[in-house]
Structure 1
Amino acid sequence: MPAMPLDDDKRRDSKREDAHYDDLTALSPELDRELRKLEHMFTVDAAKLKEVSLQFEHELRQGLSRVSRCLLPSLESEGGNLPMLPTWVLGFPSGHECGEYLTIDLGGTKLRICWVTLNEGKGENQSDQEIYHIPKDYKVGTADQLWSFLAESMEDFMTKRHIEPEEGTVIPLGFTFSYPATQEYIDQGVLQTWTKGFDIKGVEGHDVADQLRQALHKRGLPIQIVALINDTVGAMIASAYSDPKTIMGAIFGTGCNASYMENCGSIAKLGGLPENLPMAINCEYGAFDNDRRILPRTPYDKTIDKESPRPGEQTFEKMSAGMYLGEIFRQVLVDLHSRGLLFKNQDPSKLLTPFIIKTGFLANIEDDASPSLTSTHAAFTTLLALSPTAAERLFVRRAAALVATRGARLCTAGVSAICRKKDISAGHVAADPLVYNNARFKARWAQAMAEVFDWDEARDEDPIVMTAAADGSGLGAAVISAMTLERVARGDATGLRPE
């Protein structure tokens, strides 16, 4: 069915959360028509968002009760889309954890290594860190390349800082691995599928902790992997270390995901554990709606999925995560240029480069307060060698806002579903600080949350709010390592690998 344009009243409503109101009368009839089509395609109203959230809750429950299709595709209709991975992080921290810990975080483009000192809640925790950029070809290389790079980087970090264990001891390591991995124990994890552009051979189906353990052994490094954690779990635990109102950790950055505490009695696929024992669940909900039942996908979303390394996977992530927003925007521009509606008679060579536009580019366009949007013109000239007219600058700014707004609104679907599933009516959602500090994203997210839950417009404050997550891959990994070693010390072997 062709996209129907919004009427003027709905068009005004769709811009309420924007801080600026552009005079779009300068657009040509053709561009105005195209903008109306885009507004229809990218506007997710409250009714649709509620539908998405309800389906999200259904898939959360489905994932807790059975193994998901994305983990075992052969199950076909027997499993849901969401892995809902048990993490063996049992409960929230006490706030009194202490000690020194090495932590690493394998992200989408870089490796972050930290040396963290926990002070048992007696003042500031200390953290020393260094970033190591992952060679681009390693992201599609081999397992040996990846783990050798990690071990070499850790050795370099320890050498520079003169980090050595006491005689007869080893250095405890918390490993943040933010990819779907099934865990039978807290210091083990079998990678099910790469995300975030990784496609490294020889890792899927294998225990990533064991592969790193072997690489460390080859270098003779006295390091013991204590815990393998997901970044959302780390963010949640790090935040709860100082904020008892924390209800979940959420990632709205390169990827999208969330973690929360679930009673083991509700995790039917585990069984055999005390019913009221709390365990952190890594939802890995970027895979939501992989069977295409509910999300309002545009032709641009379908193109991105088709051209991705893993078509048909991570459907929700490809529509809402920061890694993809710039690419969605680029697909819109490419389409309109191909039809002679934008950048007429200009060379589109750079525009045709996949992922050349990052999310920050969209934010800069929206934030442009210069006369006649001259900063937007300069940005297009610098990055894309294009010279947009005054009318085109207005058009691209509105298009950028549409893409970003849809992303922010969709990001409430998983959070609201978890809150409803757990009957949570108030609390703090710990989100990555870069997102938390993005005023536009936060305002759009908060507005959508209010619409999903029908909060009273006269409320003094929102009952569920986004807060800046503490350092999940540094502090969070250290706290989880400390919690795990405390369990070892008191003889609680739940979730621990047999010796």
Structure 2
Amino acid sequence: MIAAQLLAYYFTELKDDQVKKIDKYLYSMRFSDETLHDIKCRFRREMENGLGRDTNATATVKMLPTFVRSIPDGSEKGDFIALDLGGSNFRILRVKVSHDKKQPVQMESQVYETPEDIIHGSGSQLFDHVADCLGDFMEKQKIKDKKLPVGFTFSFPCAQTKLDEAVLLNWTKRFKVSGVEGMDVVKLLNKAIRKRGDYEADIMAVVNDTTGTMMTCGFDDQRCEVGIIIGTGTNACYMEELRHIDLVEGDEGRMCINTEWGAFGDDGSLEDLRTEFDREIDRGSVNPGKQLFEKMVSGMYMGELVRLILVKMAKEGLLFEGRITPELLTKGKIETKHVSAIEKSKEGLTKCKDILTRLGVEPSHEDCVSVQHVCTIVSFRSANLIAATLGGILTRLKDNKGVVRLRTTVGIDGSMYKMHPQYARRLHKTVRRLVPDSDVRFLLSESGSAKGAAMVTAVAYRLADQARQIVQTLSEFRLSQAQLLEVKKRMRTEIENGLGKNTHSSATVKMLPTYVRSTPDGTENGDFLALDLGGTNFRVLLVKIRSGKRRTVEMHNKIYAIPIEVMQGTGEELFDHIVHCISDFLDYMGMKSARLPLGFTFSFPCHQKSLDAGILVNWTKGFKCTDCEGEDVVELLREGIKRKEEFDLDVVAVVNDTVGTMMTCAYEEPTCEVGLIAGTGSNACYMEEMKNIETVEGNEGRMCVNMEWGAFGDNGCLDDIRTQYDRAVDENSLNEGKQRYEKMCSGMYLGEIVRNILIDLTKRGFLFRGQISETLKTRGIFETKFLSQIESDRLALLQVRAILQQLGLDSTCDDSIIVKEVCGTVSRRAAQICGAGMAAVVDKIRENRGLEHLEITVGVDGTLYKLHPHFSRIFHQTVKELAPKCNVNFLLSEDGSGKGAALITAVGCRQREQEAQQAAQHAQ
């Protein structure tokens, strides 16, 4: 018993002693965590060089775009063929993808040999061989009559400009086929298939084996966004943000990048870490100076590294008592599979003895312990180096996403990772140490890269089908020039109906006279009060207008709240509240004694019989005061002032906010004769010839007409361009069947149209993984400000995702692209039909005046016009295209409704004086 223990102790001591000796000898192959962190940072720099437009040409890590833009989301289905060409065997698979939970993927495959004469022959021979094998496979599968989508795994470095094109850069792995380098392999294969003529194939995707691995694993785990091969060679790919890939147009979404990391260090950046053994391996290789990282880590070189170390140690008398045999000196005698066998924990030493005995070196037990430790150091170094470069990719992913903690999956394949007894465990442990703020799952690719090629094809097929259906859905919103001209023509018809005496009562576009007879001429002068009532807040303003050489407008204002009980109480209470606020303001300004002229911006539909009389047609925007509808609001205000008995005011004008906007801009720019509000609601006004306004007496001069154009289409004249989504929004609104044009182009409704489209696309499985969240069911969640943010060109998709997450919508990158497209389509149509309406107005003004060409300015206000990133540009462009004989300038109104009311009051005072003078002259 004691003897056995002593023996065990002796061997442990001996082993420890040998291990220490080897550790010391191979010190330069053992890396501290600090060194690994440094390698990680170096690799990140190389990645950035590969991605940059100016640095890519000289970068060693090429970062090739693969044009694979999406990982499987589980909704893929169909029948696909996969070809896998990358070694001495050539595989063809038929992959059926279904939604069957038990067996979502069914595969049948066949292996065809690729003879030596073809591997070293001509391009036409190689691709004829591939086409023949594919024909044979389709014959056996009885699918020659079908044109199935094909995915092609082609494991050689290629430059791609799209998914179904790959230009071979150079052959590797013993292949030396003439006439293929610099050519598109898809074209060559298609040519060979056409030459046969007995079947058709639709090659949709060419992928690298690394990408294939990521996609295979991505089907099982949708978090998978990295693929690694650690086998004979080594490489990695991952999903990069498109905005960082300078070599590819566009910045929406993500794309898989094939790093080609085997070439890391080819520029000398790993010189301080390479050993004499690495240099010797490189000198004896077929490509000296190339793929230096791969030569330090991959299976193709690991056995050879171990052999070179053993030779040197034997020469120095540290192993085999200095014996060196011809076998030990022969290149390739120790293979990577031997390294794996030697490192097995139980039978490793026995295997080691067998292998060394075959090399004729007669090893002692100490020799076997030493050789086992040499193998451990070499393979551990490989795992550490891969962990460092993978760490570089993971930290980049984490930074791209802007998350505190990364959760991701790495798909992995390759003989080294699969067969070596300790490799996977070591790699995982080191990765977790180097990127502690990430939760990384490693997923072994079961069926390799060919299934991945089928998956890439399935995803491409799904995305193409999805894109086709989304285009079809959104095509109803894409109006042609002819359709927009038709909208313009119909608006013109409705304008005429609204102006006509006999048609006015049944017209939808009411064309209400405002009794504003002229725009400011610059002689306006004096102090004016303005009231602005149009929502939950109420403003009182004092506007001091000074004419002369330096025209100035000075404004003072105060905002007062209108409590809900006042909004829904009696008319008397409302006007008493308004008068109380005016009283407070006059005290505040110290102007109670003056009888100031007052302009009243009242943004509710009114019938006017004069400038200072407005009959309220109906309340909107949450107001429900009794005893007001059908009454003159100016009279109600005057009565309120009388009841107060504190001050007196001269109410000169009641105006709509659209007219206020026109007047404000006309003060700055005399050619301004049109006003537009494009905000929560939509409306316009313009200066019409008196002779055309049949609802008002008199034929001289002009008058501003408040169009109330939001109701355009209420008679059904726009039904041919209204979509199912417009109808849904209308049906769920407070005023069904009313304001149909406004519901297609104003800020209040655009978000609702978007929400209805998103619900439909989600139901059809194109968005949010087919899950309709409670948030998406909530009316009013998409405010116009979110649309403006989502469509902003400066926002990366990541920020779009953040906005959607803020709204409780968990979206992928692909979802975000679709949401952005939907928002863009809806707001574009809004700007275009609004532009068609405006084109009708300016063309009418031009014809009224009998001009061949009209120069005119439109005063504009409203949040949609001001804040949306594209609305104003598309609106301007549409007006220009639909009214080519008008040169229209657009002027943004600063504080339209308040200042405008004061200016109208000033113009009204001037008109009154002129009329009084004329009356006096007539009397004489």
Q: Does 1:250 align with 2:685?
A: no
Aligned to 2:759: 334
The answer to whether the Cα contact below 8 Å between 2:531 and 2:538 also exists between their aligned partners in 1 is yes
The answer for unaligned runs of 5 or more in structure 1 is 1-19, 70-74, 456-461, 495-499
In the alignment, is the contact (CA less than 8 A) between 1:175 and 1:227 conserved in 2? yes
Q: Distance in 1 between matches of 2:722 and 2:645?
A: 50
In structure 2, the residue corresponding to 1:189 is in which secondary structure?
Answer: strand
Q: 1:187 matched to which residue of 2?
A: 612
- 1:430 and 2:859 matched: yes
Report what 2:424 is aligned to.
none
Residues 486 and 451 (structure 1), Cα distance of their counterparts in 2 relative to 1, 3 Å cut? closer
Residue number among 453, 462, 476 corresponding to 2:883 in the alignment: 453
1:217-273 deviations in whole A, cap 9, x for unaligned? Answer: 3334523321101111111122112211213111111211111111211111223x1
* Aligned equivalent of 1:143: 571
Partner of 1:343: 768
CA 1:151 to 1:305, structure 2 compared with 1: closer, same or farther past 3 Å? farther
Are residues 432 and 220 of structure 1, via their aligned partners in 2, closer, same or farther at CA, if it must alter by over 3 Å?
Answer: same
Residues 310-329 of structure 1: per-residue CA shift (max 9 Å, x gap): 21111111111122112222
| More displaced stretch, 184-193 vs 200-209 | 200-209
CA contact (8 A) 1:259 1:282 kept: yes
Report the Cα offset of residue 201 of structure 1. Answer: 4.5
Instruction: Give the structure-1-normalised TM-score.
Output: 0.83
Which residue of structure 2 aligns with residue 229 of structure 1?
A: 655
SS of 1:369 mapped into structure 2: coil
* Deviation larger for 407-416 or 433-442: 433-442
Relative contact order: is structure 1 or structure 2 higher (C-alpha 8 Å, sep ≥ 6)? Answer: 1
Secondary structure of 1:474's match?
Answer: helix
Counterpart amino acid of 2:835?
T
Match of 1:294 among 706, 718, 730: 718
Task: Kindly state the Cα deviation for residue 214 of structure 1 after the two structures are TM-superposed.
Answer: 2.9
* Percent sequence identity over aligned pairs: 33
1:469 aligns with 2:893: yes
How far is 1:187 from its partner?
1.1
C-alpha RMSD over aligned residues: 2.8
The letter for the 2-side match of 1:279 is: M
- Matched with 2:812 is 389
Measured in 2, the distance between the counterparts of 1:337 and 1:319 equals: 22
Residue number among 159, 172, 178 corresponding to 2:587 in the alignment: 159
Kept after mapping to 2: 8 A contact 1:300/1:331 = yes
Alignment of 1:309 with 2:715, yes or no, is no
Pick aligned residue for 2:491 from 56, 67, 70: 56
CA deviation string 1:324-351 (max 9, x = no partner) = 1122222222333455543347673333
Letter of the 1:386 counterpart: L
| Corresponding residue to 2:687 among 261, 265, 290 | 261
Structure 2 residue matching 1:251: 3-state secondary structure: strand
Instruction: Please say if 1:398 is aligned against 2:826.
Output: no
Q: Is the 8 A contact 2:598 2:652 kept in 1?
A: yes
Q: C-alpha deviations, 1:104-138, integer Å up to 9, x for none?
A: 22224432322110011533210112333444676
- Specify the code of the residue in structure 2 equivalent to 1:53: K
- Structure 2: how far apart are the matches of 1:141 and 1:388? 45
Q: Is the 8 A contact 2:763 2:771 kept in 1?
A: no
Q: 1:323 to 1:157 in 2, by over 3 A?
A: farther
The Cα shift of 1:400 comes to: 0.6
Using the TM superposition, give the Cα deviation of residue 284 of structure 1 relative to its aligned residue in structure 2, in angstroms.
Answer: 1.0
SS at match of 2:777: coil
Supply the AA of the counterpart residue of 1:226: V
SS, match of residue 804 in structure 2: helix
Q: What is the CA–CA distance in structure 2 between the aligned matches of 1:136 and 1:339, rounded to whole Å?
A: 42
Secondary structure, aligned partner of 1:83: coil
Distance 1:481 1:270, change over 3 A: same
Aligned pair partner of 1:353 in 773, 778, 782: 778
- Deviation track 1:270-298 (CA, whole Å, cap 9, x = no partner) reads 23x1x222111111111112111135111
Aligned pair in 2 of structure 1 residues 266, 341: CA closer, same or farther (>3 Å)?
Answer: same
Question: 2: distance between equivalents of 1:370 and 1:93?
Answer: 42
Which deviates more from structure 2 when the two are superposed, residues 323-332 or residues 435-444? 435-444
2:843 to 420, 439, 447: 420
Aligned to 2:529: 102
How far apart are residue 367 of structure 1 and its match?
0.8
Q: How far, CA to CA, are the matches of 1:48 and 1:119 in structure 2?
A: 48
Q: Secondary structure at the match of 1:422?
A: helix
Provide the C-alpha distance between the structure 1 equivalents of 2:584 and 2:771, rounded to a whole number of angstroms.
48
User: Is the CA contact (8 Å cut-off) linking 1:264 and 1:277 kept in structure 2?
Assistant: yes
Deviation by residue 1:414-452 (Cα, 9 ceiling, x = unmatched): 211112222262211111175256551121012212321
Q: Which sections of structure 2, spanning at least 5 residues, go unmatched?
A: 1-249, 255-458, 848-853, 919-924
Please give the per-residue CA displacement for 1:185-237, whole angstroms capped at 9, x wherever unaligned.
11111122334555554432222222233333333452332110111111112
Task: Give the Cα separation in 1 of the matches to 2:467 and 2:766.
Answer: 11
- CA distance in 1: counterparts of 2:621 and 2:469, whole angstroms: 31
CA contact (8 A) 1:238 1:472 kept: yes
CA distance in 2 between partners of 1:136 and 1:351 (Å): 29
Listed one character per residue, the Cα deviations across residues 127-182 of structure 1 (whole Å, up to 9, x for unaligned) are 1123334446765665345434433433333333333233xxx2222111122211
Q: Which residue of 2 aligns with 1:440?
A: 870
* 1:279 to 1:23, Cα distance in 2 relative to 1, 3 A: same
- 1:436-485: per-residue Cα shift (whole Å, max 9, x none)? 56551121012212321357xxxxxx811222124332221111111222
SS class of match (1:313):
coil
SS at match of 2:912: helix
- Is the contact made by 1:67 and 1:83 (CA closer than 8 Å) also made in structure 2? no
**1:35-54 matches, cutoff 5 A:** 35-54=470-489
Secondary structure of the corresponding residue to residue 241 of structure 1: helix
What amino acid maps onto 2:596 in structure 1? I
Which residue is 1:5 aligned to? none
Structure 1 range deviating more: 53-62 or 240-249:
240-249
Within a 5 Å distance, the mapping from 1:15-34 to structure 2 comes to: 22=252, 28-29=463-464, 31-34=466-469
Pairwise CA distance, 1:35:
2.3
Q: Distance in 1 between matches of 2:725 and 2:641?
A: 43
Count residues in correspondence: 454
Contact persistence 1:87–1:186 (CA under 8 A): yes
CA contact (8 A) 1:487 1:493 kept: no
The CA distance in 2 between the partners of 1:377 and 1:368, in whole Å, is: 14
- Determine the C-alpha separation between the residues in 2 that align with 1:209 and 1:37: 52
C-alpha separation in 2, matches of 1:450 and 1:182: 33
Q: Which deviations, in whole Å up to 9, do the C-alpha atoms of 1:82-117 show, x marking residues without a partner? A: 111111111122211011111122224432322110
What is the rounded CA distance, in whole Å, between the counterparts of 1:419 and 1:149 in structure 2?
A: 41
CA 345–417 in structure 1, closer or farther in 2 if over 3 Å, else same: closer
- Give the counterpart of 2:666 among 237, 240, 244: 240
Range 80-89 or range 203-212, more displaced: 203-212
TM-score computed with the length of structure 2 as normaliser:
0.46
CA deviations over 1:1-40 (Å, ceiling 9, x no partner): xxxxxxxxxxxxxxxxxxx884799884564244213321
Structure whose alpha-carbon radius of gyration is higher: 2
Q: Determine the C-alpha separation between the residues in 1 that align with 2:489 and 2:906.
A: 37
Task: Please name the residue that 2:89 is paired with.
Answer: none
